[in-house]
Amino acid sequence: YANRAKNIKNQPRINEDPKDALLRKFQEEIARLKGQLEGKGKDGRKSHRNRNRDGTEMDDDTSEQDDEELFLKEQQDKLNEEKRTIMHKKNINENEREAMLKQLEEQKKEIEREQEERRKMQHKILEMQSKLITGGKDIITHTSEQEQALRQKRRLIAEAERRNREVQQQLEQREEDRRTMNETYTSIKEEVEDKRTKRDKLSKSLKKLEAKKQDIIEKHRSAREELEAEQREMQKQAKLFQLVIENFIPVDERERLLKRIQFDEQQNYWTLKELSKQTYDK
């Protein structure tokens, strides 16, 4: 019993104003959601806080999006150039040419799907942020948990793109190996046997690379779906809090409360400034 009494951490609230009580419940619910998100993105918390202190968050977001779009455009241009090269090659048969063109077309479709998914994701993020604004003021302005989740997913997407580039480089190396097959042979039989052996090795390597690529695409898709689910849940909770504020807190009282709210960087939660007589008169 003594231990239980010692561990009680409830703070006494004497004659607490009903409006303060409502706002306190609102803050407690936000803290609860923060705890849930913290469990999902715990690894990225330290780096996220450091970037906030440096004041570089907003500029980096725009730069990252531009770099990602530029990379996808460069990939498309590269695939188109490779397609033209294959069409003009004279040292490969039609079956090989058709297989290579088919593979390039699949890669091009995947890049187009990636561009479309990225646009949809960015649109949803902007739409969600705009719905959290009332009277020109942010109710919840890019909470640290949401930023952390978005950056974690961006890192996963960037890693998937890096792996895709590695796979593409390996495919190019395999293509270079194909070109070296046009060698001088001492006999027709030796030429056929040597090319068959190289073909089998290349086929096995290409199958492994294709399996690796599919695994990367699946992880990429899973990360994107998880991000969208988290964003929907944040939007749902934000609308609930907005409804409570708009229906139970008068406009003038709401403005006074917003002026009193401040974020404690060390404790990582929102607090209320002490209510002075001057603030109440205003």
Q: Which of 123, 139, 124, 150 is nearest to 40 (CA)?
A: 150
Cβ atoms 269, 31 nearer than 8 A: yes
Residue 188 has what pLDDT?
A: 66
What's the whole-model pTM score? Answer: 0.27
Q: Which of 72, 65, 100 is nearest to 171 (CA)?
A: 100
Residue 49 has what pLDDT?
A: 40
Six-digit token string for 249? 């807190």
Cα–Cα distance between 212 and 216 in angstroms, integer? 6
Residues paired with residue 138 on neighbouring β-strands, in sequence order: 133
Six-digit token string for 184? 């001088």
Strands (E), the chain: 133-134, 137-138, 261-264, 269-272
Of all residues in the chain, what percent are helix, strand and coil, respectively (each to 5)? 80, 5, 15
pLDDT block averages, 10 residues each, the chain of length 282: 46 51 50 45 39 45 57 78 79 81 85 77 55 45 63 85 86 76 60 84 87 87 88 87 82 83 83 64 50
Six-digit token string for 127? 């739409």
Q: Which residue has the tokens 């890049």?
A: 111
Instruction: Name residues whose C-beta falls within 8 Å of residue 250's C-beta, 6 or more positions apart in sequence.
Output: none
Helix, coil or strand: residue 125: helix
Residue 146's identity, in one-letter code, is Q
The tally of CA atoms less than 13 A away on the side-chain side of residue 88 is: 6
In our burial notation (b when 16+ CB lie closer than 10 A, e otherwise), range 157-166 reads: beebbebbee
